[in-house]
Amino acid sequence: MRTRLNARSWLRFFIGLLIIVTLVRPSFASALQVQSAPTPEYAPNRLFVSFRVSTPSAARQQALDLIHGEVIKEYALAPDVTLVQLDNKGGIDVPAAQAILENDPAVNYAEPDYWITPLDMITDDPRLGEMWGLANANVPSAWEHHTGTVDMVVAVIDMGADYNHPDLVNNIWINPDEIAGNGIDDDGNGYVDDIRGYDFYYHDNDPMDAGTHGTHVAGTICAEGNNGIGVVGMLWHCQIMVLQFMGPTGGFTSGAMDALSYAVDKGVRVSNNSWGTNSFSTPLYTMIQNAQSIGHVYVAAAGNNGRDTDLVPLYPASFNLDNIISVGSIRSNETPAGDSNRGVLSVDLHAPGVSILSTTAGGGYGTMSGTSMASPHVAGAAALLLSADPEQTYQEVRGLLLQSARPTPALAGLSVTGGVLDVGAAFDQMPGSSQPPASPSDLEAPVQYYTTVCLAWADHANNENGFEVFRSTDQINWQSIMAVPANTTGFDDTNLLPGEYAYQVRAFNHAGQSDPSNVASVVIQVPLGITIHVADLDGAGVWLNRALWQATVAIEVHDMGHEPVSFAQVSGVWSNSGEVATCITGETGRCQITSPSLWYIQSDVSFAVQNIVAETMLYVPPENHDPDGDSNGASIIVRPQ
């Protein structure tokens, strides 16, 4: 049994040390590396090995035998990479094994499984700044175009996240191919009951935050919007896939690779990576590069060392790959944070990263600082662009974010763009953003629930802010009755009086409205005083043994339009005992009542319906009927068989 609470206690101890250390600007990959116990540089008993493609399996095994190693993992996203476990026999440790393998003609390269650390600083005063970052990044302007969609999945590769947080719980990804709690790997991906993602640090299916770092990152990306509580993320709606590979102080490269592999296998196109290492990892580089195959945008924090990463790189942000966006941090006055890394070649742009208010573990809110907080602003921006137009390539998304970065004098020469994230400008530069959206089509208006019309339409736009629904009683005068969010394809018009109605729907954005959809007409014929009837009574009797039998009655309830009525309570009485029995109808309008045990001397028994209760509907006994002709419509005699 693992002890996460103890891990959090250690984190509080490390943060106490960190407050002192940050005053002298640490030169490590993260200030959280400074601790009383030494941080490992790499896993002590495993390493990555890449064999040459043409190497026979016998030669590969011979190389592994030399180091007393065994392949424990292969990667579909990096086919030439294996993870090898050492048995520590013969005094062969990781450096010795690496030296042996690099002299073996069967091996491309061998590399340690490096340690990686989160890239954040200490928590500031609660609610300091009140989300200035969203305004600085011009996010409200972007929301005029789009606020996100429930089918946009973003992978938070981090320490985990508080998936029960009130501002996150509705935006947590749920694995559609896995059945919770059945102990089976339903989707066949090698992980059992991975409902919200996976924990590659503790190796289980519970990626709850080991600190609060991942929860803070997740909130910046996708804290639920327009819900009346707390904060809001870059997207109001999305799905956060929680992928934990770090504990309170860090994790290994192999865990980061497992997390990315998981996300790519599920088709996730955006990930946030607020962590780093000084060590170049060829397997990780290969995997990120191969993630381009599904159009994956890999957003990475540039690091908090206050150094030029063109000269002293920090990975993965410094990998020279065109699906990576490396993010530095700014203050609210658009000057670089003092500890943010810089690099005219290795840092792409800057984003708000000082005193950023977001969600924290345990259901709270607080501010944190660092490039860890800047990176999710950009990851959220990438996801917002992709959710607005999923057909974009990763090059197009990255290009939009870099081209639209707002030039800032204080950032000149510190990044590729010398600018600050501007999501509104990115949307303005999207193809078609200055045009009204395409018209919806195939509008249908079926009647449901007697006084409700359930509208449904096809969405052909990728740049709408929402849809406006219009209703008319004469198809001349149209009334706007509701505006619904972008990517919505339905609306229920309720509490309608009897009569004829016509509907149209238009898409809209900041550039204007689309042409109207087709007209869908409907007639509400059912009066408010709805009558219901027993449509049929069927009875059957069965022997339980030589002396006892039971009677069963099936009741069907329908309305005056001969439609089944669900959730109706049927009450009646058995003739032999005077006992009152009830049942509740299902979707088919049917339910069943079984009598108590009856003695054989009772040749038959009858059941009479006395009442039916279904919301405001009225039961009308005189209009009962019996299609089968085996009852009088109100009662039935049941005989033993």
What are residue 471's DSSP bridge partners? 479, 503
Helix (DSSP H) and strand (DSSP E) numbers for the chain:
11, 35
372 is catalytic: yes
Q: Give the burial class of 221: count Cβ atoms within 10 A of its Cβ; 0-12 exposed, 13-18 middle, 19 or more buried.
A: buried
CA 422 vs. chain centroid, Å, equals 24
Distance CA 130, CA 365 (A): 11
Cis check: omega of the bond before 316, within 30 degrees of 0? yes
Tell me which of 146, 165, 213, 377 is the catalytic residue.
Answer: 213
Please state at what angle helix 394-403 crosses helix 371-388, rounded to 10 degrees: 120
Amino acid letter, 539: G
158 is catalytic: yes
Q: Which two tokens stand for residue 140?
A: 């409200």
Distance CA 138, CA 244 (A): 30
Q: How many of the other CB atoms lie within 10 Å of CB of 542? A: 11
Return the DSSP state at 205. Answer: S
Closest CA to 255 of 291, 229, 283, 216: 283
Q: Which two tokens stand for residue 31?
A: 């200030």
Q: Which two tokens stand for residue 605?
A: 């028994």
Q: Which of helix, strand or coil describes residue 341?
A: coil
CA 541 vs. chain centroid, Å, equals 52
What single string gives the DSSP state of each residue in 304-330?
SS-SBTTTS--BTTTS--TTEEEEEEE
Q: Which of helix, strand or coil describes residue 358?
A: strand
Tell me which of 104, 120, 158, 422 is the catalytic residue.
Answer: 158
Closest CA to 210 of 390, 448, 32, 462: 32
- Are the C-beta atoms of 535 and 625 separated by less than 8 Å? yes
User: In the chain, what is the straight-line distance between the N-terminal and C-terminal CA atoms, in Å?
Assistant: 59
Helix (H) / strand (E) element for 9: namely helix 4-21
- Are the C-beta atoms of 248 and 276 separated by less than 8 Å? no
Amino acid letter, 510: H
Distance CA 557, CA 563 (A): 8
Tell me which of 50, 329, 372, 517 is the catalytic residue.
Answer: 372
Q: How many of the other CB atoms lie within 10 Å of CB of 344? A: 15
- Are the C-beta atoms of 636 and 553 separated by less than 8 Å? yes
What are residue 506's DSSP bridge partners? 468
213 is catalytic: yes
Distance CA 555, CA 592 (A): 6
- Which active-site residues does the annotation give? 158, 213, 372
